[in-house]
Amino acid sequence: MIQTIIVAIILAAAAVFVVRGIMRTVKGKGGCGCGCDNCPMKGDKGRLCNDSFPQINVDD
């Protein structure tokens, strides 16, 4: 029984981590998954990068 409870807690934590990771990635907040401190996709850095560096306007 104790084993089942511990497994349930670990599973829930893993599920939350994965779902949160996917949500953050899709929103462009979570980094690329490479785990590096200066991930260009991460948080403010990603936004800064995307706002200020010229990007493609595919409709041009």
Partner 1 sequence: MLLSELQTGERGVVVRVAGHGAFRKRIIEMGFIKGVTVEAILNAPLNDPIKYRIMNFEVSLRRSDAEKVEIVSEKEAELEIVSHDDYRGIDADEQSAAQHIAAERGKTINVALVGNPNCGKTSIFNIAAHAHERVGNYSGVTVDEKVGTFEHNGYTFNLIDLPGTYSLSAYSPEELYVRKHIIEKNPDIILNVVDGSNLERNLYLTTQLIDMDITMVMALNMFDELKRSGDKLDIEQLSTLLGMPIVPTTGRNGDGIDKLFDTIIDVYEERDVKTRHIHVNHGRELERSIKRLRTELYEHGFSDSLSTRFLAIKLLENDKQLEQYTTERDPDGSVFKMRDQIADEFFRSSHHSIDDTEHVQKEHGGDHRAHQDIESAITDAKYAFIRGALAECYEKNEKSTLHAHTDRIDAIVTHRWLGYPVFLIFMFITFFCTFAIGQYPMDWIDALFGWLGELVNSNMTEGPLRSLLADGIIAGVGSVIVFLPNILILYLFISFMEDSGYMARAAFIMDKLMHKMGLHGKSFIPMIMGFGCNVPAIMATRTIEDRKSRLLTMLVIPMMSCSARIPVYVILVSAFFSKYAALVLTGLYLLGMIMAVLMAKLFSRFVVKGDSLPFVMELPPYRMPTAKAVLRHTWEKGKEYLKKMGTIILAASIIVWALSYFPTNADKKMQAENSYMAKIGKTIEPVMAPCGFDWQQSVSLLSGVFAKEVVASTMTVVYATSSEEAEELEDFEAEENGSRISQLIQQNMSPLSAASMLLFILLYMPCLSTIVAIKNESGKWKWALFTMAYTIGLAWVVSTVFFQLVSLIL
Site of interaction with partner 1 (CB under 8 A): 2-4, 6-7, 10-11, 14-15, 17-18, 21-22, 25-26, 28, 31-41, 45-46, 48-50, 52-58, 60
Q: How far is the CB of 15 from partner 1 (least distance, A)?
A: 7
Question: Measured from the CB of residue 7, what is the shortest distance to partner 1 in angstroms?
Answer: 5
Give least dist CB 18 to partner 1, A.
5
Amino acid sitting at position 1:
M
Q: Quickly list H helices, 1-54.
A: 2-27, 43-52
Residues with Cβ < 8 Å from 46, sequence gap 6 or more?
Answer: 28, 29, 31, 39, 40
